[in-house]
Chain A
Amino acid sequence: MIEALSALGSVFVDPYLLGLIFATTILGVIIGVLPGLGATTGAALLLPFTLTMEPVQAIAVLSTIYVSATFAGSITAILINTPGTSAAAATTFDGYPLAQKGEAGRALGVAVVSSTIGGVFSVIVLCIAAPLLARVAYEFRPPEYFALTIFGLSMLASISAGGAVKNLIGGVFGVWLSTIGAERVTAIERFMFGNYDLYEGLSFVPVFIGLFAISELLVQSKMVNKVVNAVSLKAVKLPTKDDYKRIWKTIVRSSGIGTFIGILPAEGATVASMIGYSEAKRWSKNKEEFGKGSIEGIAGAEAANNSATGGAMVPTMVLGIPGSGTTAIILVGLMVHGLRPGAYLFTEQVEKVYQIFGSMLLANFMFMAMGLYAAKLFARVSLIPISILWPIVFALSVIGAYALSQSLVDVWIALIFGVIGFFARRHGFAVAPIAVGLILGEMVETNLQHSLKMFDGQWWMIFAQPLALFFLILAFLGLCGPYLFSLITRQKN
């Protein structure tokens, strides 16, 4: 425990790491305020830059981008009614109306404070919950891991964008992508079509750059003629005593909701902010103010979306199951730097783990300072013409895709997946399930193979393992629960 705390504290006195997190927070806020870019695209673009860094520094960069970009989405949500990230969509409901009333500074102040409290709360939960969960996960064998990954995949059904069935199809497609290359046990080549660059399978980095960054470029190409109506901002104001009295309960509630939703595999900040917002409305004494500039609405959404960031890191680091597109990229970052996510990470690399947690904590305080003192400046960044911004994203994408393996094939893969991702999104399929499926695919197949070997080919024995059965029941309930519930209700009525 002392070792963990000292590792966590060491981040605050390491000048290099402090400087790195400071610079990354600025970058994260810029990424967050640029509509379309967001935490996931930003992390995908920055991943290649972390290759030569130490593991802790690399993951600190990625997690700082995650935390700061998630917050920064609220700046444009309030000032130009365009959420910088999907997680800030709920902030527009009350943030922009309040800004239109001439209270943009107050709206941003509430967003900054709520985000920081939510973020810090979730990191504290992460520090406590992750090692506890790791102790449980220590007992997991292949059947439990198989069932857990199935549970993780089933949760894709409730990812915010796309419908349940479409998300599941995306997840299955992602798992199938993981089968490309030589099969691990028999070395039989699958779907390679003679291309030996694919022998080891598809690299995650170019696929993610394609799915998130290049597909977003194509999506943004539809917004070429979009006109932005910005509201003026004099200065960001900290909430007053009366404001705090009104919002503290909402912040606490939303922080809890956000952290819990973040912990659930495949649930992310967007779902958290929507639920945080609706719960804030449900419990409020001033329901009529919602949608017209309620500070409780802003606090509910912002505390929830930022607290989901810490929560989402729990399954990512302990179980290797990412909670969102961004955590999928962080997971890849962990793997690239030799930090195999899982229970062993918490026994063998405790120091590194807590340094990563410490850097997330630090990032929360840093974006608070930037939100309070530089929001006006950052808001101007969002007005960069897309005809300048997106060619830069293109250059970063192709070079980033090339950098990891220094192979042109990876560049073509990124471009191909950019187009695939664009057409998927065009038809209402979210790309995050494909990314999560690709990451979990290997885990699913390998653990199924090991389980079959364990039980001499008797697959039904997986159901005889209590913990595995528990996860499979959860997966079943997650998939069929809502339909069964509505069926029962309909029959009763």
Chain B
Amino acid sequence: MNIKIFSIPLFLTIFSIVVIYLSLQLETSPEMIVGDSMQARSFPIFLMVINLILTAILAFQFTRVYPKEVELEKFPTWSSMLLFLIFYILVSVSGDMFVAIPVVMFLLGITWGQKKIWISLSNAIITPLFIFFLFDYVLQVRFPRGWLTNIYYG
């Protein structure tokens, strides 16, 4: 039997045990507050016990019907996730979502196979601009101040 098939049940089991452990670390409330109800830790523990039971059933099902082999992700998927990280770093450094969004949009377009750079570039510039003014004027959403928004907000 291929042990790999148990990777998901194993992950779920570890997750449930960790949550139970963390729940047990939660404070308990005095009887006069909780009364006949339950402690804050009880419900998550109850949920994770159910999760463990369901995970056991899932593991049993996997022994009877093998789960489909999951293909490894290709470049566009991993690069997209990496771009999320780049987005986080850019926002943290510049403090400005409107610096990070065009950069990520442009790179996303390129990594997803857009060969004409000007198309990706125009998309990365026009769309955030349009969304920014839509949210600013119509929905009156104020965005975090950063390199670019500081120029606009003054």
Contact = CB atoms under 8 A, between A and B. Distances in A.
Interface of A: 48-49, 51-52, 163, 165-166, 168-169, 172-173, 175-176, 179, 183, 185-186, 188, 190-191, 217-218, 221-222, 224-225, 385-388, 390-392, 394-396, 398-399, 402-403, 406, 408, 411-412, 415, 418-419, 422, 426-428, 445, 448-450, 452-453, 455-457
A387 B109 contact: yes
B55 interface: yes
Contacts of B66: none
A403 B139 contact: yes
A49 B139 contact: yes
B36 A391 contact: no
Contacts of A415: 84, 87-88
A172 B139 contact: no
A159 to B, nearest CB: 15
A297 to B, nearest CB: 28
A187 B106 CA distance: 45
Nearest to A392: B127
Given A387-B112, A391-B106, A426-B70, 6 more contacts: A188-B27, A222-B73, A224-B76, A387-B114, A388-B114, A403-B139
Contacts of A427: 8, 67, 70
Given A52-B138, A165-B61, A388-B109, A398 B35 contact: no
B110 to A, nearest CB: 8
A394 B104 contact: yes
A194 to B, nearest CB: 13
Nearest to A173: B51
User: What 9 A-B pairs have minimum CB-CB distances, sorted nearest first?
Assistant: A457-B36, A387-B114, A391-B105, A183-B40, A188-B40, A387-B112, A221-B76, A186-B29, A221-B77
Contacts of B88: 412, 415
Contact of B44 (A165, A190, A217, A406): A190
A403 B114 CA distance: 29
Contact of A179 (B44, B67, B128, B143): B44
A406 B119 contact: no
B119 A388 contact: yes
Chain B, interface residues (CB within 8 Å), range: 35 or more
Contacts of B128: 395
A22 to B, nearest CB: 18
A218 B75 CA distance: 11
Interface in B20-42: 22-23, 26-27, 29, 33-41
Contacts of A169: 12, 51, 54-55, 58
B77 A218 contact: yes
Contacts of B139: 48-49, 51-52, 403
29 contacts: A51-B139, A176-B47, A185-B37, A186-B40, A188-B40, A190-B44, A191-B22, A191-B44, A218-B81, A221-B77, A222-B73, A222-B77, A224-B112, A387-B110, A390-B112, A391-B104, A391-B109, A391-B120, A394-B101, A395-B131, A396-B131, A398-B97, A398-B101, A403-B141, A406-B143, A408-B144, A411-B91, A427-B70, A448-B43
Contacts of B51: 169, 172-173, 176
Contacts of B37: 185, 449-450, 452-453, 457
A176 B44 contact: yes
B131 A166 contact: no
Nearest to A403: B141
Contacts of A222: 73-74, 76-77
A399 B58 contact: no
Contacts, number: 166
A103 to B, nearest CB: 34
Contacts of A179: 43-44, 47
A328 to B, nearest CB: 19
Nearest to B15: A173
Given A185-B37, A390-B108, A406 B142 contact: yes
Nearest to B50: A172
Nearest to B80: A221
Nearest to A166: B58
Contacts of A419: 81, 84
Contacts of A402: 97, 141, 143
Contacts of A392: 105, 123, 127
A188 B40 CA distance: 7
A183 B40 CA distance: 6
Contacts of B120: 387-388, 391
A344 to B, nearest CB: 24
Contacts of A191: 19, 22, 44
A211 to B, nearest CB: 15
A386 to B, nearest CB: 6
Most chain A CB atoms below 10 A, which of B29, B40, B88, B128: B40
B152 to A, nearest CB: 15
A428 B142 CA distance: 39
B131 A391 contact: no
B35 to A, nearest CB: 6
Contacts of A52: 138-140
B154 interface: no
Contacts of B58: 165-166, 169
A448 B34 CA distance: 13
B57 A452 contact: no
A163 B23 CA distance: 28
Contacts of A221: 74, 76-77, 80, 112
B64 interface: no
Given A225-B113, A412-B88, A445 B43 contact: yes
A391 B124 contact: yes
